[in-house]
Amino acid sequence: MRFALLLLAISVFFFLFGCTNKDIVDAMFGNEEVRAALATGDPAKCEALEGSDVNECLSRMAEMKKDDSICERIRAGGSVDSCHSRVAVASGNIETCKKIKDSAILSMCYSSMATSKGDASICDNITDAEMKSLCMSDVAQKIGDAGICGRIVDSNRKDFCYGEIARDKGDASICDKMADKKRIQTCYAEAAGKSVDIGICVKMDAGNDRDTCYTSIAYNKNDPELCDKVAEDYNRDSCYANMAGKRNEATLCNEIDSAQSKDNCIKKVAGEKKEHTLCQRIVDEQTKQTCYQEIAISAEDASICESMGSKGMITNCVQEVAQRSGDQKACVNIKDAAALELCNRIAKGE
């Protein structure tokens, strides 16, 4: 039974993602005899096989041809129900699901049909309460209809359904429908990830979650001024760093209080813009030198290395550029004969 359900789940995957018959055959079978039989489209070729290959071939043949009558040819030991379910999913014909006797396979068949069609009413055919709830939740999420969540009996599953749609839509008002008040704050935070409504943040308790909310809205709206609303220093610095990175504006790094965070912000923007002159604004010497070297390597421009502090750093930077570019011209300004020879060899890949 578990194997049958696994194969059915794989069949649903292929259907939902638009795979062809050839995709199904290629993905499922390494047995050349089974592949050859399926390629003929003749069920009799499957029946000429041996062992378990017969039933599996017939089931796949029925799925490929969308012909559930082939399922009746499955021999003892095979799952006629799984075959009917595969055909139902492949053909989109819910009537085929009704031929299934096993309750678990029947529930999965209805659930797959409901999700693929975006029709929650099909879930009503499922007798198992948990499976019905899962079915409705899946349909609700697929079509983005929070109203369907309200039909779910299980409160935990209902709240989960509301939370998923609120997050996907960036609509915090859906969070207010949740029964578990403790989950609402998390729902607000997740909804903020796709929203531009700062009203979400006002609803949240003060602290990290609210700060994260303002940071998300600021990023989504491309509005760095919203970072001023972030209460905690560390969180506010992160907000400005995110905005500086998004807008490639090093001036926003000036709003950061932490010296190291400010240096890292400038370094990031300088690297994105390949603008090595920005590295001059970095206070920490090691961070500054790294900034110069990373831009020199990325731009394959050894002249940028000359901005670095020591002869050893400059030589190492030039050699890194030579290795990246494969161009011996990068080495021309090295004065030390041994270092120059090494740089040329590096450029040539020796």
**Tens digit of each residue's pLDDT (9 = 90 or more) over 183-196:** 998 899 899 988 89
CB 164 within 8 A of CB 170: no
Does 6 score more than 70 pLDDT?
no
Whole-number pLDDT of residue 14 = 44
Does 28 score more than 90 pLDDT?
no
Whole-number pLDDT of residue 77 = 75
DSSP secondary structure letters along 34-73: HHHHHHHT-HHHHHTS-TTHHHHHHHHHHHHHT-GGGGGG
Does 328 score more than 80 pLDDT?
yes
What is the identity of the amino acid at 165?
I
Distance between CA atoms of 25 and 210, rounded to whole angstroms?
Answer: 51
**Tens digit of each residue's pLDDT (9 = 90 or more) over 123-182:** 999 999 999 999 999 999 999 999 999 999 999 999 999 999 999 999 999 999 999 988
Distance between CA atoms of 279 and 229, rounded to whole angstroms?
Answer: 29
**Domain spans of the chain, in order of start:** 1-117, 202-257, 269-350
Whole-number pLDDT of residue 247 = 96
C-alpha torsion sign, points 283, 289, 290, 296: positive
Whole-number pLDDT of residue 244 = 97
Supply the angle between the helices 208-221 and 233-247 in degrees, to the nearest 10.
20
205: DSSP letter: P
DSSP secondary structure letters along 211-249: HHHHHHHHHHHT-GGGGGG--SHHHHHHHHHHHHHHHT-
Instruction: For residues 44-64, give the mean pLDDT.
Output: 93
Residue 207, phi-psi category: left (phi > 0), alpha (psi -120 to 50), beta (remainder): left
Does 23 score more than 60 pLDDT?
no
Does 11 score more than 90 pLDDT?
no
Does 82 score more than 50 pLDDT?
yes
**pTM confidence score:** 0.66
Whole-number pLDDT of residue 115 = 94
Whole-number pLDDT of residue 103 = 93
Whole-number pLDDT of residue 161 = 96
CB 11 within 8 A of CB 90: yes
Instruction: For residues 11-19, give the mean pLDDT.
Output: 44
High-pLDDT (> 90) share of the chain, %: 77
- Per-residue confidence at 334, pLDDT binned at 50, 70, 90? confident
Instruction: For residues 107-131, give the mean pLDDT.
Output: 95
High-pLDDT (> 70) share of the chain, %: 91
Does 294 score more than 90 pLDDT?
yes
- Per-residue confidence at 79, pLDDT binned at 50, 70, 90? confident
**Average pLDDT in the chain:** 89
Find, among 185, 120, 180, the residue nearest to 147 by Cα.
120
Does 42 score more than 90 pLDDT?
yes
Task: Pick the more confident residue, 317 or 18.
Answer: 317
